[in-house]
Structure 1
Amino acid sequence: MSSGSAAPRRGEKAQAAAVKPPMRDALVAAAFRLFLERGYEQTTVDDIVALAGVGRRSFFRYFPSKEDVVFPDHERCLADMTAFLAASGGEHEPVQRVCDAARLVLRMYAENPSFSVQRYRLTKKVPGLRAYELSVVWRYERALAEYLRGCFAGRRDGTLQADVIAAAVVAAHNNALRSWLRSDGKDDASAAVDHALGYVQARFGAASAPAADAQAEEDVVVLVSRRGAPLWRVVQEIESTLGRPGGGHENSPQ
């Protein structure tokens, strides 16, 4: 066999290897094909690896469970979010920062709209997947809350503010995201999420300002005085209420 005839075959093999999806992606593709054909509950890990042409050990090298193959990109996205928040500095306004962190999740979904829509439909049908998804969402919320707690440390109700704002960011993001998924990925996801997160910033952005706490801690004094009382008597009562001894007054009667 001449070297000239062998070279094209080597080139064909290299080309085939280049177009073949990585094993992790092949497992995800096989899993969703079977989920759509048979249903999630009726599909086993053995079915998935058989269709993908790999062994069970290869599956569990990438995914701890069948549920994880439905959400293959969330671990990466959570790591990206955590790193993004960890890189924050004093120049970053905290509420704006967690809103920007939430946009990383949107970017993950928007990278593959058809897959995201398929997953959304599947999750709606399978209660177990819905519960799994909620646990994933909680981990995002916890990452946001932990960052905000650090920003608000030592502030009055700082932990409460952090938890409430983190929950609001997640709720607003998910509201817009589900609206986009219900449109089969045809609407403008970025515009919807920007609008929803803008709603959160407008209502909670001021909570990140220390002045809000200082204002909340100001005392309010209400003084009731007799109508027609002389001004020196009113002043004397105010000073007495505030704990400031008035002493003598030039215009007060002796």
Structure 2
Amino acid sequence: MSSSSAAPRRGEKAETAAPRPPIREALVAAAFQLFLERGYEQTTVDDIVALAGVGRRSFFRYFPSKEDVVFPDHERCLADMTAFLAASGEGDEPVQRVCDAARLVLRMYAENPGFSVQRYRLTKKVPGLRAYELSVVWRYERALAEYLRGRFAGRPDGTLRADVIAAAVVAAHNNALRSWLRSDGKGDASAAVDHALGYVQAAFGTAPAPAAEEEPEDVVVVVSRRGAPLWRVVQQIEATLGRD
């Protein structure tokens, strides 16, 4: 008799099931599948964990709320940005540094364009998610502003300058990022963000020190009689310049 469950012969490899994704990734994948099929408001946490094949406690171990599963990487990115700014040296130009910090956010989006576009479309449809996203953006802006406040401490309007520059960096970055997302993630997102941040650096970056102003040249006008000897003219010029 033969059996389909017979052990593999020597030298043959037993077929193994594909490894399951980590729980966190499985929850995100299940959530977005249900959001697309049923809609965000119609999907519950219980629906998500059932599809992911995990318990309800597992969900809340990774995500405090249903909104958080839509933005699974922002906490990590915010931590990376904070560490990047904290590692800055005195020689780093502050505006350049915060622009580079903003590029960390772009990198997070560009790592998975399909997911980023999907999330962008979902966020546009759900007011609650839009409000949540704005709170996340505000936290990025605060991180940039705190760094700049430290660098501009003691300067006239240092706090005001820090807050204005941080807001400008976020606005420029988001303008380019959303244009890229509206194009379904096509094109060079980095080039678009670099172009946008270039405006911030041009407006607020440290300008090269102006060249030392040269002292204006003296212009001397000498009036002499026609036919006066040349030595007399030279004598008049020297007297006007105050030379001995």
TM-score range, shorter chain: 0.7 to 0.9
The whole-number CA distance in structure 1 between the counterparts of 2:128 and 2:202 is: 36
Matches within 5 A, 1:68-217: 68-206=68-206
Tell me which amino acid in the other structure corresponds to 1:72.
Answer: P
1:50-65 to 2 correspondences below 5 Å: 50-65=50-65
Distance 1:195 1:2 in 2: 62
Match of 1:12 in 2: 16
User: TM-score when scaled to structure 2?
Assistant: 0.80
Give the distance between the partners of 2:129 and 2:7, measured in 1 at CA. Answer: 56
Q: Distance in 2 between matches of 1:88 and 1:107?
A: 19
Name whichever structure is richer in helix by fraction.
1
In 1, Cα distance between equivalents of 2:49 and 2:75: 22
Structure 1 counterpart of 2:190, one-letter code: S
Gaps of 5+ in 1: 213-254
Amino acid at match of 1:60: F
Q: Distance in 2 between matches of 1:51 and 1:129?
A: 22
Offset of residue 206 of structure 1? 3.5
Identity over aligned residues, as a percent? 86
Which whole-Å CA distance do the structure 1 matches of 2:30 and 2:47 have between them?
A: 9
Instruction: Give, in whole Å, the separation in 2 of the partners of 1:110 and 1:2.
Output: 46
Which has the higher Rg, Structure 1 or Structure 2?
2
Give the corresponding residue for 1:220.
none
Structure 1 position 8, deviation (Å):
3.7
Q: Does 1:41 align with 2:41?
A: yes
**Displacement of 1:111:** 0.1
Q: How many residues align?
A: 205
Q: Is the 8 A contact 2:169 2:197 kept in 1?
A: yes
